[in-house]
Amino acid sequence: MKLKFFGILFLMLMGTEAMADRPYKNCGNGKAEVKAAREWLELNINEILDTPTISGLRRGEKRRLKRKLKNGLLICKGPGTKACSKDRIGVMRHPFRRKAIICYDAIRRYYSQAFCALAGTILHETAHMAGVRKGRTHNKPNGTRTDLVYKTGYAAESLCASQGLDRAIVERK
C-alpha cells in the first residue's frame, strides 16, 4: 500500500516538474519568440486587464485568463495545416480548453513587425481557453469591435506597440 502511495506521489511530482517549463510544441526557432511574448504578457497582464476597452471582463474570467496564460499549451503550426488555413493566425480547438494553436508562420507573413501581433494572438487564444465570453459576431466582419476576446488581444497588441516592442520575429523552420 505504501509503495502504491509513493508511486502515485512520484508521478504527480514528475508531472508538476514537467509543467515548470511552460509547454510549447512545434515552435522550432520561434519558441524563443513565443516564450518572450508570453513572458511579456505575464508581466503586463494586470495593466492589459485594466484597459477601459475590456472593462466588461468578470473577475472569474480575469483569474482564469491569468492561470491559462501561465499553463496553457501553445502549439505552433505552419501553412498547409487545417488549423491555419483561411488566413487564420490562431485557433483554440481543444474540448478541455488546454491548447491553443498559434499560426506562427502566418503572423510572420502578414505583419512585418510581428512581435506585438504574436502577443495579441496568444492572449486572444488564451482568452478562448479561459472561457472569456465571445460575442455572437465573433469571427464575422466588423464583429470584432464588440467582442471581449478580440478586445483582449487588441489591448495586448496596443500596449506592446506603445512600449516600442514591435519588431520582426524569426523564421520558425
What confidence score (pLDDT) does residue 12 get? 47
Give, for all 173 residues of the chain, the pLDDT tens digit.
555 544 444 444 444 434 445 588 888 888 999 999 999 999 999 999 998 888 889 999 999 999 999 988 898 887 777 778 777 777 766 555 678 889 888 888 878 789 999 999 999 999 998 988 887 767 666 666 778 888 999 999 999 999 999 999 988 77
What confidence score (pLDDT) does residue 150 get? 87
Exposure letters 47-61 (e unless 16+ CB within 10 A, then b):
ebbebeebeebeeeb
In whole angstroms, what is the distance from residue 96 CA to residue 118 CA? 23
Question: Where do we find the cell 498559434?
Answer: 102
What confidence score (pLDDT) does residue 147 get? 84
What confidence score (pLDDT) does residue 13 get? 44
What confidence score (pLDDT) does residue 88 get? 74
Q: Which amino acid is at 39?
A: E
DSSP string, the chain: -HHHHHHHHHHHHHHHHHHHS--EES-GGGHHHHHHHHHHHHHHHHHHHT-GGGTT--HHHHHHHHHHHHH-EEEE--TTSGGG-TT-SEE---TTS-EEEE-HHHHHHH-SS-HHHHHHHHHHHHHHHTT----TTTTSTTGGGS-HHHHHHHHHHHHHHHTT---------
What confidence score (pLDDT) does residue 167 get? 93
